[in-house]
Amino acid sequence: MTDLGVAATPWLDACASSLRRAGVTVHVHMLPAGEAAKALGEVERMWEFFGGHRLDRRSAVVALGGGAVGDSAGFAAATWMRGVPLVHVPTTLLAMSDSAVGGKTAIDLPAGKNLVGAVHMPAAVVADTDTLATLPDREFRSGFAEIVKCALLADRPRLASLAADAPRLVARDPAALADAISFAVGVKLDHVRGDERDLSGRRALLNLGHTVGHAIEREAGFGTWLHGEAVAAGTVVACRVAEGEGLSGPDVTDAARAALSAFGLPTGVPESLRVADLVERTRADKKSEGGRRRMVLPRREAGAETRDVPDAALESALRKG
């Protein structure tokens, strides 16, 4: 590697200094915090930055930060010169357990979240749980939504153990965190393996909770609800829909709610949002086909499946919280 474009966070100095000591030339580019990083204008700024520093196909982009930084910098790397190497250095729990793994990159448009993107597998993912020590409590807790989602998909007994271990996890116990992150990464890789480009439908199951979650984020205004908070509420709604469709039962919903609540995550849709607006917003979800809303729903015994969900079924679940 001859040059590195680094999308920065408070851990920038340590990362950049380490690379420079190894003899690597480092150029630093800053992205705004949160979902603002995932604007087309920010990607254009990165492209101009890459061009100004003559990044070539032997260069690499290091995305150091949370999920939004990884999504945006990853998309810039995927499209610069038709793809240059990408290294993820996630510094949030959500990014370590989910977004930095699997190769999906994306930016947002007014029409919806993550509508423009590419699959661009990272050359490496370097996750150091020490970076979580400086993460604000609310953002830290939000990352557990993706870990609970993975338990709902692949290991139902772990829902109860996550709830029981919540005090240690919230206290940022290194061993407990390493186990939880490793579990979530394993589940994600199992779903990505063999369906890297989301063609067979198995990878799509990782979107459990995201159809309504993305709608909440957009309707509330990005930043009002963190991604993990919205996914937590969206996961409960998906469980409610599965109940109504006879695919699952209240015991599954209760177990998911208990695990999410143990981490202080919301399990209901914000009262400030209109159900009709959320229903309409879900039509822009990436899984929609031919105008039909497709949602990932948990099964009664194990796993999940993607099904068409009519307005009435979603409205009923949303009104139950």
Read off the pLDDT band of 321 (50, 70, 90). Answer: low
**pLDDT value at residue 22:** 94
Mean pLDDT of 294-314: 95
Q: What is the pTM of this model?
A: 0.92
**pLDDT value at residue 67:** 95
| Residue ranges of domains in the chain, CATH in brackets | 3-132 (3.40.50.1970), 136-319 (1.20.1090.10)
In which region does residue 32 sit, left (phi positive, over 0), alpha (psi from -120 to 50) or beta (all else)? beta
Taking only the tens place, the pLDDT of each residue in 156-209 is 999 999 999 999 999 999 999 999 999 999 999 999 998 999 888 999 999 999
Closest CA to 150 of 307, 295, 302: 302
Taking only the tens place, the pLDDT of each residue in 260-277 is 999 999 999 999 999 999
**pLDDT value at residue 1:** 38
Taking only the tens place, the pLDDT of each residue in 115-148 is 999 999 999 999 999 999 999 999 999 999 999 9
Residue 43 CB contacts under 8 Å (≥ 6 apart), including other chains: 72, 75, 76, 79, 107
Q: If you average pLDDT over every residue of the chain, what do you get?
A: 94
Buried residues in 275-298 as b, exposed as e (16+ CB within 10 A): eeebbebbebbbbbeeeebbbbbb
- pLDDT at residue 289 tops 70: no
Contact present, 99 and 68 (Cβ < 8 Å): no
